Amino acid sequence: MTNRYIMINGDIVPYENATIHVASVAMKYGASVFEGIRGYWNSSNKTLNIFLLNEHIRRLLESMKLMRMKHNYSSKDISQFIENLVRHNLLKEDCYIRCAASIEGEGGIDVSDPVMLSIDAFPQSRKAKQQEGIHVSISSWIRISDTMMPPRIKCIANYQNGRLATLQAKADGYDNTILLNQNGKIAEAPTACIFLVKNGILITPSVTQGILESITRNFIIEIAEKLNLSCKQQDIDRSECYLADEIFLCGTGVEILPVVSVDRFTVGKGIIGNITNQLKLYYYDTVYEKEYNGSHYLYPVSF
Ligand code: PMP
């Protein structure tokens, strides 16, 4: 992307100038929280539809609160900054918006200000294997828990747990991996939540099982109801994954990504399942406004 700009504390600056000091508490102790948000381009209306923007901003503010960051940013400020940046970067295509709040102050582990709010926005297409699905393992790394580093928020330091698990899974020849929580129940993938389908019922771990409070997961629970699919939030054993009819991961990055094997056990028929496909189509119809025009899930930025 030529002429990429970044928003820093409300100012639009060239990409090269968007830096933070090595002595900052963000760099030294990982005191930074973030959001990943998707924008979908609607070529007929010439609008970039930002998906579930308010929900992402709410979670960013919650992450900042939990990390005791001192700041004065409102949700309105942040949505305005995002809107200004995507316009400035001329994002007339599907894109990804990364919004971070980082402690740029120097000092000890307890320093909580000043906070640097940075926003990056760049083109991003669909992840591969949306159609054929992916092969995952159950990781031997265990998901961090609420008593250590709350996984319900998006603190960058949390991602070292998922990074170790991903690197191990890739070294072992898998596409991705699922982590168990401290109680040996299914938690989530390193950057996505998980749903199983068994006998026509959707099942996903509850938000107290060591998972991020995923916005896509909430959206799927909501649309499942509209599609008259029952959905349960409950504990899931590892062996339930081996015997599931369908499995998929969900999240802003992966959208809805079918899983076709777990620890080399084939899931269902080893292809994308009917319910997964139904949800995937509903998701695309919503974000590209094929069926559900002017949906309240979208924040339109017009060009
Ligand atoms: N879990 C983790 C650890 C993640 O990083 C993500 C991606 N944000 C998800 C789940 C999915 O969350 P969301 O649907 O809000 O993107």
- Distance in Å, CA 245 to ligand 1 centroid: 23
212 lines ligand 1 (CB under 6 A): yes
Residue 234 near residue 185 (C-beta atoms within 8 A): no
What confidence category does residue 295 fall into, taking pLDDT thresholds of 50, 70 and 90? Answer: confident
176 lines ligand 1 (CB under 6 A): no
ipTM of the complex: 0.99
User: According to the model, what pLDDT value does residue 293 have?
Assistant: 67
> Is 232 an annotated catalytic residue?
no
User: According to the model, what pLDDT value does residue 284 have?
Assistant: 95
What confidence category does residue 290 fall into, taking pLDDT thresholds of 50, 70 and 90? Answer: confident
* pLDDT tens figures, 124-141: 988 889 889 999 999 999
Q: Which atom of ligand 1 is nearest to the CA of 56?
A: 15
User: Residue 226: is its pLDDT beyond 90?
Assistant: yes
Contacts 24+ apart (CB under 8 A), 86-89: 86/39, 86/48, 86/50, 86/121, 86/301, 87/301, 87/303, 88/5, 88/12, 89/1, 89/3, 89/4, 89/5, 89/121, 89/122
Mutational pocket test of ligand 1: of 58, 98, 161, 191, the residue with most ligand atoms within 8 Å of the beta carbon: 191
The residue whose CA has the least distance to atom 12 of ligand 1 is: 214
pTM: 0.97
Mutational pocket test of ligand 1: of 193, 206, 222, the residue with most ligand atoms within 8 Å of the beta carbon: 193
User: Pick from 112, 120, 90: which is nearest to 15 by CA?
Assistant: 120
Q: Which of 154, 198, 232, 290 is catalytic?
A: 154
User: Residue 174: is its pLDDT beyond 90?
Assistant: yes
